[in-house]
Amino acid sequence: MQSFPPGGGKWQVSTGGGDQALWRRDGKELFYLSSDGRLMAVPVSTSPTFSAGSPEALFNAATGEITPSGIRNFYVPAPDGSKFLVLTYDRAGQSNALHVLVNWRGVAERK
C-alpha cells in the first residue's frame, strides 16, 4: 500500500503477494487475490494513521470453476463486502451467460 500522492508512506498488506486489489466501498477493507488463488480480505484503518490487520482467506478462487487467469478484476465486492459477484466458468471452460437488465422499472412502466 502506498499513499497518494506518493511520499506519505508505504505499508505491506499481504503476507505472500497479491493481485487484483479492490476496496470495500467504505474503505474499511481491502480485497485481493493471493498468489495461491485465494480471495483475501484485510481490515484497514486510516485514522489517525494507516494500519492493516491480518489477511483472512474468504474462499479459494482457483478451484477450476472460478478462473481468474488473464482476466482483470474477475470479482466485484458488494458495497459492504458481504457478497461478491464473481465471473465463473463451467467445467468445459465456457463462460456462464449473465444478462443484466438496466432500468427494469422504466421498461415495465412503458408496457
Model confidence pLDDT, tens digit, residues 52-110 = 889 998 887 765 444 445 666 678 888 888 888 777 666 665 666 665 656 655 555 55
What pTM does this model have? 0.68
Residue ranges per structural domain of the chain: 18-110
pLDDT digit string, tens, across residues 11-43: 778 888 888 888 899 889 999 888 887 888 999
Report which residue type is found at 90. Answer: D
Length of the chain: 111
pLDDT of amino acid 62: 61
- Alpha carbon distance 17, 15 (integer Å): 6
Cα atoms in the Cβ-side hemisphere of radius 13 Å centred on 21: 12
Report which residue type is found at 85. Answer: L
Name which of 69, 106, 107, 111 is nearest 87 in CA terms: 69
- Alpha carbon distance 106, 9 (integer Å): 48
Distance in angstroms between the alpha carbons of the first and the last residue of the chain = 50
Residue with cell 474499511: 28
